[in-house]
Structure 1
Amino acid sequence: MSSTLLEVTRAGHEEVERLERLIVKELQNDPTNNKDRLFQSHRVRNMIDTITATTEKLVEIYEDKDSARKDEIAALGGQTATGTNVFSAFYDRLKEIREYHRRHPAARVVDANEEHEVLLKEEPPIEFSGEEAFGRYLDLHELYNQYINSKFGEPIEYSAYLDLFSQPQRIPRKMKSSRKYREYVENLLEYLIYFFQRTEPLQDLDRMFSKVEMEFEEQWENGSIEGWGVESQENGHVPEHTVIDLDYYSTVEELMKVAPEKLKEALAALGLKTGGTIQQRAGRLFLTKDTPLEKLDKKHFAKGSRGSEQNGVAAAPHAVSNLKEIALMEAKIIKLCDSLEETIARTKDNVVKKQALTYEEIEAEREEEETQADSESDDDEQQIYNPLKLPMGWDGKPIPYWLYKLHGLGQEFKCEICGNYSYWGRRAFERHFKEWRHQHGMRCLGIPNTKNFNEITSIEEAKDLWKKIQERQGVNKWRPDLEEEYEDREGNIYNRRTYTDLQRQGLI
């Protein structure tokens, strides 16, 4: 019976004590392999979360903001509005208990120990990719592709990237103010946090990051963070927030030779307008070399880049805040990489070993690992080993490698009309022109999905072709008033419009 507030309190304390005993019992067992260790850690983590939630409810009850607990204790003592009657309160409670058992004749005492023993045998659902192999390795392929295809990255091997991703301080500071770099750092930090929570559920990540933030604030103020040293801010402008060092340029003409995109990024970082010709952009940026931002004319600033009372100063604090957030994310990445140092080393060794193997050797190694895994658990509990990330076949297993190469499934085709959706393999690409996604995109453009538009994936190309088709149809269209011919009694030939006019005037 947990209908009363005191009974809920008693049950809450009992639940906390029972879970604490289960945690002690669980941690006394020594796991035999990495998989069992992960399951044990996640079971303990789930029990700790349950204890935390139950304790928070108990705290709310003891705070007694609505005085419900106080009233219930008073009612147990027989205190009523007319006075104190202990016997009346006792018999009322006895009546309530009897009524409960009358309504629930089959009620029995549940053995809580048997119920909670099941917790020690369950296998919590933990999502790992085939590459991660229950937390033994990292899977950074998507981040690796984002790195090598960016301006701040470089074309390197995946094994070399495993050494670089944990050292963001090696990337030049002038590259870190771009939006692409911020997205890369956010994605990397998000993945590492998710991986760390799956592999080390008993670690207190919040406490770890709290310590990192305290050390970061102190180092940021002192300018002692590696790769983020405080540079001189002469004349009131902030050169570190731009991707262009104006000290290397003495005239606007020299600055015009810089790529237009870099000029736009530098202007946007300072809150200045990014439009106009290359000469106008270069001239606007060159003004900041010798003139402080607060002294620049208001016309040079983008709309909403500063307050009504400030004159060009608001863009700089915004840029400082943006770079500070990036630097803090880098500090968290470095801390997580230090904690995952052993996993990173194992990942690199595994990648190097597989790069030296042929496909046949990889298959042989996979079969050997599957044989070893069968001795640890049942076949239906094993995760499919797919190091080459081949598509799955009808039987739920990766298709053969020769079939993967034959159909060119490693070749990616993107269709802008389908919303930049990717199609893998030539066959899937050709087939998608008749599928609903492409047809819907063509309808949104107001263009009929005919054979004339096969192999066209660009929206602009489709619009241009449709315009040409419409123009050609307009030239070849049958116009009866001009092209339908009539002959009079004398053998003269006229079009329909002329013949009708002459006939109306009585000339024929």
Structure 2
Amino acid sequence: MSSTLLEVTRAAHEEVEGLERLVVKDLQNVPPTSKDRLLQQHRVRNLIETIISTSEKLVEIYEDKDNARKDEIGALGGQTATGTNVFSAFYDRLKETREYHRKHPFGRFVDPNEDYEALLKEEPVIEFSGEEAFGRYLDLHEMYNQYINSKFGDVIEYSAYLDVFSQPGKILHKLKLTRQYREYMENLLEYLIYFFQRTEPLEDLDRKFSEVVSDFEQRYADGKVEGWENHGQDNGDVLSQDTVIDLDYYSTVEELMEVGPEKLKEALGASGLKTGGTLQQRAERLFLTKHTPLEKLDKKHFAKPSRAGEQNGSAKSKLESDSGKEIALTEAKVKKLCSLLEETIVRTKQNVEKKQALTYEEMEAEREEEETRVESESDDDDQQIYNPLKLPMGWDGKPIPYWLYKLHGLGQEFKCEICGNYSYWGRRAFERHFKEWRHQHGMRCLGIPNTKNFNEITSIEEAKELWKRIQERQGVNKWRPELEEEYEDKEGNIYNKKTYTDLQRQGLI
């Protein structure tokens, strides 16, 4: 391998430079859809990881721990241990180089002058569940089940859980120290990291977490972490506050004895005094501390410390403190990820609330539409839009949502014979068409006025029959002698009965 070390170095440099040009060329293209943008980021991430691994190999070569590179460079200048001729060394090197390329004819080679359409159109495999809809929504159902079936959680709806899972500081402090809560937070953090890495592959999450850790250390030391403000107080301190007896209220030992043996025992133990003896002995021992400080009491009144017990208690306290700090740090990381995924969380809640108002059939149709939309989404005018449900096109040139299609009843067809058997889809469009030009033109051709009486009439025969009844009701076909009976004067002029009578009364006829 050492005989071709320089050739390996040259090929590695060439590969890194070519991949860098390829990354720049890919990032110069603006993805038309969210899916294409995500695929582009994963494609660039894979190229960057290849560059990093190749660069690490170059670093190892340049460190030259076994002096193989130094010996090979020396051999190029004729500096050989056996004193071989310079030309012989050159041809030996040429032969080794040709042999290397003969054995590795398919080494990856990236030339900026070549066409990289195949590499740029490569679609990395990204695993998303059906609920995640290719990174649009979070799938926290498993975390939700852990939450509602735990002691620290509440029985709430999934939509309400999406509001509280990012606020662990509201949970009681004593419940946070349990193993169940620690496992829940670890699983939640693991899922959020996995989701973030799939949806934002170019983000440096390690750098963001390092900032969180540095800020957390200072705030935790100052007791300013939400839900962990009293982390410096151990359980013994809290117990002593609850068990201390205020001796100012008692003037004699007899009065103090009324407190009871158990209360006296707890108070003595909190002060480090002996807890044994009768009720009166316990009261007398505790009453001594009313006028005498603990430092000045005789040592015979104090309990003998157990070295093993102190060590075990100290170790247990330290273990609980370290465990609490780890849980608090996990909470801080979860909050950071929730702030980075804030838009996704809001979008997930809106999607859940919308699904609650849909039937099972509508949810299935919506899911199929979402899948087809993700697969066929493109702004290319030449690309045929995939529309298996035959939904009407919206203002943006894409099929309208299925829930809107059902809301307006666009699956119902209404035909109008007066309009030449033209089809209207949806009740709203059908009612509106009676005032439109096509229906008005059909009514004029039939010689019928387009009034409100003819709304909902789509048959020609029904329209004619209705018009005939209206005319009969208004008296259009009745015999009216005063207007239709004809009279003739001496000169042969013809008048109707009313006009002839009026002229005759005037003496004009």
How far is 1:372 from its partner?
A: 3.4
Name the amino acid aligned to 1:353: K
Counterpart CA distance in 2 for 1:54 and 1:216 is 36
How far is 1:360 from its partner?
A: 3.0
Name the amino acid aligned to 1:112: V
1:218 equivalent in structure 2: 218
How far is 1:369 from its partner?
A: 3.2
Give the 3 Å change call, closer, same or farther, for CA 80–174 of structure 1 in structure 2. same
Counterpart CA distance in 2 for 1:59 and 1:145 is 48
Counterpart CA distance in 2 for 1:336 and 1:46 is 23
1:279 equivalent in structure 2: none
Counterpart CA distance in 2 for 1:296 and 1:326 is 36
Per-residue CA deviation, residues 397-450 of structure 1 (Å, 9 max, x unaligned), is xxxxxxxxxxxxxxxxxxxxxxxxxxxxxxxxxxxxxxxxxxxxxxxxxxxxxx
- Tell me the SS of whatever aligns to 1:314: helix
Structure 1: give runs of 5+ residues left out of the alignment. 240-244, 252-281, 300-305, 383-508
Give the 3 Å change call, closer, same or farther, for CA 289–48 of structure 1 in structure 2. farther
- Tell me the SS of whatever aligns to 1:228: coil
Quick check: 1:162–1:348 contact (8 Å CA) kept in 2?
yes
Name the amino acid aligned to 1:80: T
1:79 equivalent in structure 2: 79
Among 102, 110, 113, the alignment partner of 1:112 is 110
- Alignment pair present for 1:46 and 2:26: no
- Tell me the SS of whatever aligns to 2:364: helix
1:330 equivalent in structure 2: 331
Give the 3 Å change call, closer, same or farther, for CA 308–170 of structure 1 in structure 2. closer
How far is 1:230 from its partner?
A: 2.4
Counterpart CA distance in 2 for 1:99 and 1:364 is 62
2:376 equivalent in structure 1: 375
Give the 3 Å change call, closer, same or farther, for CA 233–168 of structure 1 in structure 2. closer
2:89 equivalent in structure 1: 89
Per-residue CA deviation, residues 181-201 of structure 1 (Å, 9 max, x unaligned), is 001000000000000010011
- Tell me the SS of whatever aligns to 1:90: helix
Counterpart CA distance in 2 for 1:331 and 1:174 is 18
Per-residue CA deviation, residues 342-399 of structure 1 (Å, 9 max, x unaligned), is 00000000001111222233234234435534533899x99xxxxxxxxxxxxxxxxx
Counterpart CA distance in 2 for 1:109 and 1:311 is 62
2:202 equivalent in structure 1: 202
Flag the structure with more relative contact order, 1 or 2, with Cα contacts below 8 A and sequence separation at least 6. 2
Quick check: 2:219–2:225 contact (8 Å CA) kept in 1?
yes
Name the amino acid aligned to 1:348: K
Counterpart CA distance in 2 for 1:248 and 1:308 is 22
Quick check: 2:16–2:54 contact (8 Å CA) kept in 1?
yes
Counterpart CA distance in 2 for 1:46 and 1:2 is 29
1:362 equivalent in structure 2: 363
How far is 1:80 from its partner?
A: 1.6
1:122 equivalent in structure 2: 122
How far is 1:123 from its partner?
A: 1.1
Give the 3 Å change call, closer, same or farther, for CA 286–209 of structure 1 in structure 2. farther
Name the amino acid aligned to 1:208: K
2:348 equivalent in structure 1: 347
- Tell me the SS of whatever aligns to 2:311: coil
Give the 3 Å change call, closer, same or farther, for CA 34–2 of structure 1 in structure 2. farther
Quick check: 1:137–1:346 contact (8 Å CA) kept in 2?
yes
2:319 equivalent in structure 1: 318
Name the amino acid aligned to 1:199: T
Name the amino acid aligned to 2:327: I
Give the 3 Å change call, closer, same or farther, for CA 108–165 of structure 1 in structure 2. closer
2:149 equivalent in structure 1: 149
Per-residue CA deviation, residues 96-135 of structure 1 (Å, 9 max, x unaligned), is 456668x77x969986345965331111111100000111
Alignment of 1:128-277 (within 5 A): 128-230=128-230, 233=233, 237=236, 239=238
How far is 1:94 from its partner?
A: 3.5
Quick check: 1:298–1:311 contact (8 Å CA) kept in 2?
no
The number of residue pairs the alignment matches comes to 335
1:501 equivalent in structure 2: none
2:294 equivalent in structure 1: none
How far is 1:205 from its partner?
A: 0.8
How far is 1:289 from its partner?
A: 7.2
Name the amino acid aligned to 2:16: V
Counterpart CA distance in 1 for 2:29 and 2:145 is 42
Quick check: 1:189–1:329 contact (8 Å CA) kept in 2?
yes
Structure 2: give runs of 5+ residues left out of the alignment. 246-261, 274-301, 388-509
Quick check: 1:38–1:199 contact (8 Å CA) kept in 2?
yes
Give the 3 Å change call, closer, same or farther, for CA 118–246 of structure 1 in structure 2. farther
Counterpart CA distance in 2 for 1:288 and 1:201 is 61
Give the 3 Å change call, closer, same or farther, for CA 65–98 of structure 1 in structure 2. closer
Counterpart CA distance in 2 for 1:288 and 1:331 is 40
How far is 1:226 from its partner?
A: 1.1
Question: Which has more radius of gyration?
Answer: 2
- Tell me the SS of whatever aligns to 2:139: coil
Quick check: 1:77–1:84 contact (8 Å CA) kept in 2?
no
Normalising by structure 2, what TM-score? 0.59
- Tell me the SS of whatever aligns to 1:313: helix
Give the 3 Å change call, closer, same or farther, for CA 96–7 of structure 1 in structure 2. closer
Quick check: 2:2–2:69 contact (8 Å CA) kept in 1?
no
Normalising by structure 1, what TM-score? 0.59
Per-residue CA deviation, residues 232-273 of structure 1 (Å, 9 max, x unaligned), is 638x8354xxxxx7866799xxxxxxxxxxxxxxxxxxxxxx
How far is 1:312 from its partner?
A: 2.3
Counterpart CA distance in 2 for 1:296 and 1:313 is 18
- Tell me the SS of whatever aligns to 1:122: coil
Quick check: 2:4–2:96 contact (8 Å CA) kept in 1?
no
Quick check: 1:152–1:181 contact (8 Å CA) kept in 2?
yes
Give the 3 Å change call, closer, same or farther, for CA 92–211 of structure 1 in structure 2. same
Among 263, 286, 290, the alignment partner of 2:270 is 290
Name the amino acid aligned to 1:290: A
Give the 3 Å change call, closer, same or farther, for CA 95–370 of structure 1 in structure 2. closer
How far is 1:136 from its partner?
A: 0.5
Counterpart CA distance in 2 for 1:162 and 1:125 is 28
How far is 1:313 from its partner?
A: 1.1
CA RMSD of aligned residues (A): 3.7
Counterpart CA distance in 1 for 2:187 and 2:171 is 17
